Amino acid sequence: MIDVDSFEPFYRNAMNLKIVLAQTDSLVGNASANFNRIFEIVTQVHNSLAFDLIVFPELCITGYPPEDLLFRRDFISESNNVIFELANIAPEIGIVVGFSEFDGEKLYNSAAVLSQGSVCAIYRKQKLPNYGVFDEQRYFTAGGEPCVFEFKGQFIGLNICEDVWNFDVVQKTKEAGADILLTLNASPFHSGKAQQRESLIGSHAKATNLPIIYVNCVGGQDELIFDGASFVANAEGEIVFRAAEFEEQISVVEFENGQPIQTICAPIYTPICSDYKALVCGIRDYVRKNGFKGAILGLSGGIDSALVLALAVDALGAENVEAVSLPSKYTLEMSSGDAKTQAEIMGVNYHSISIEPAVKAFTQMLAEIFAGTPNDTTEENIQARCRGVVLMAMSNKQGKLLLTTGNKSEMSVGYATLYGDMCGGFAPLKDVPKLLVYDLARYRNSLSPVIPERVLTRPPSAELAPNQCDSDSLPPYEILDPILARYIEQNQTADEIIAAGFMIEDVTRVIRLVDGSEYKRRQSATGIRISERAFGRDRRYPITSGYHGV
């Protein structure tokens, strides 16, 4: 339930128009639940405040992105029918909502304006993004006309998300007679996205002399995170209001003589803080929306699992998180000690279960088949897979989500064991490079010290063999991560990376590892996207391929 008492700072009494920005979290695929949520908000706010118009995010009826649910006629019919039900909630106010509109032949990403008990305007999104994480041209037909509606003496234009990133659409809406522009958005987070939005939309507002109201959704949806951070730019391009990041928030902004009045602006977080909050949001909503009873993870005493434990506790509460140490004969005593220490600090339920009996059993079972062959990564992987079996068994028995703890650097080069440490249902660090793992861990410790200092300072190791370190198999992360960023996120060639100052041996080795590990990544758990190019929706390479980067 949203606390209406918190609305008071966001508005004043005297104005021409009061517009409510409803920064909300929809459940993809459940139009009925989303209708009920909108009904609850409209009713609650209507009973508590005086306002004229309330604006919800893009596709708030279906949730975003609904993906191939949009091919189901029953789902589309429900979404269309909800619009007419909403029109009768509070006929004396205006409601603007995003929905999937089917006109009998084509499907549109649309916004409906509801007033006086009827649908008084519909806008169809003109720019359908089909890059990165977006597939809108797979489902929708593009609209071709601007939409401006008159409401209590103001002429208000509508855009939907990608539209407002294109100056020509904003300009045409202005030319169609808009005094104010409303834009409904489902704009996913990546590091630095909030600043990028405000800079671009602010410049459009200034260039057109048109105030812009930007309402964004919030919450986690599989790998995507929506960060909210809704805002209002005045006709000079100045930000006069900003909602909080990563929180549902209902805000009222006053317009006087067609211009928004300066009010409270929530702060924009630092990049490291935003990244951390995005990861917390992703874990919380994946567990909550999928009905898990909590989360479980293997706690090794290393930096990756230490960070995942901190994120999980911050997302779900200590009472809903379980940590399991799974030592083998190669596990150092300090690793087990550090794992136990962090579990105690964070107050989670903690277990230590030796995998040695299982490893011995598998070794004996395979002894005849393996006879005459030297030990290699096969024996190391058996250890990791024994851990996976234990963790998955606990996950199944308790109804808790198993969080994998691998990071983006490891997934890039295949430094992970299929059906071993890759076991699990959700990968919080899948888009977090190793160096950023350390930065996030230090950030979390700056809030309160929960990760033992030794975990932050000792060399990382899988501890699957005597005296093993990651650097035995990989270049140092200070070299590896920048190469990966250039090859994966920036699409640079080997020659370009070498020209940037990296050793040819390192570049060649890393690119070969990346190219040869697609089959592993395709089988990995869904993970949270925080960069501009994550594995999954953003980067879709064939497994069977004759292409080689070197």
Query: What is the DSSP pairing of strand 321-325 with strand 349-352?
Result: parallel
Q: What is the CATH number of domain 279-522?
A: 3.40.50.620
Residue 161 appears among annotated catalytic residues:
yes
**CATH number 3.60.110.10 given to 4-268:** yes
pLDDT one-digit tens code per residue, 242-290: 999 999 999 999 999 889 999 989 999 999 999 999 999 999 999 999 9
Q: Is the peptide bond before 91 cis (omega within 30 degrees of 0)?
A: no
Say whether 279-522 and 4-268 share the same fold.
Answer: no
Catalytic residue, candidates 18, 60, 147, 161: 161
Maximum average pLDDT range among 262-271, 397-406, 531-540: 397-406
Closest CA to 218 of 37, 433, 446: 37
Per DSSP, the residues of 29-52 read T-HHHHHHHHHHHHHHHHHH---S
Q: What is the pLDDT confidence band of residue 4, given thresholds at 50, 70 and 90?
A: very low
Reference 445, options 287, 309, 300; nearest CA is 309
125 a catalytic residue: yes
CA-based nearest residue to 206, from 241, 233, 175, 174? 233
Q: What is the dihedral of CA 483, 486, 492, 494, to 10 degrees?
A: 0
For residue 14, what pLDDT band results from cuts at 50, 70 and 90? Answer: very low
Confidence of residue 474 (pLDDT cuts 50, 70, 90): confident
Mean pLDDT is lowest, of 79-83, 208-212, 409-413, 437-441, for 79-83
The predicted model gives 337-363 an average pLDDT of 93
Of the candidates 58, 136, 245, 463, the residue annotated as catalytic is 58
Q: What is the pLDDT of residue 471?
A: 67
In the annotation, is 217 catalytic?
Answer: no
Task: Give the span between the Cα atoms of 128 and 136, in whole angstroms.
Answer: 5
- Which residues touch 457 (CB under 8 Å, ≥6 apart)? none
Provide the residue ranges of all domains of the chain, joining segments of one domain with +: 4-268, 279-522
Among 60, 101, 125, 322, the one annotated catalytic: 125
- Which pTM was predicted? 0.92
| Nearest C-alpha neighbor of 257 from the set 19, 453, 15 | 15
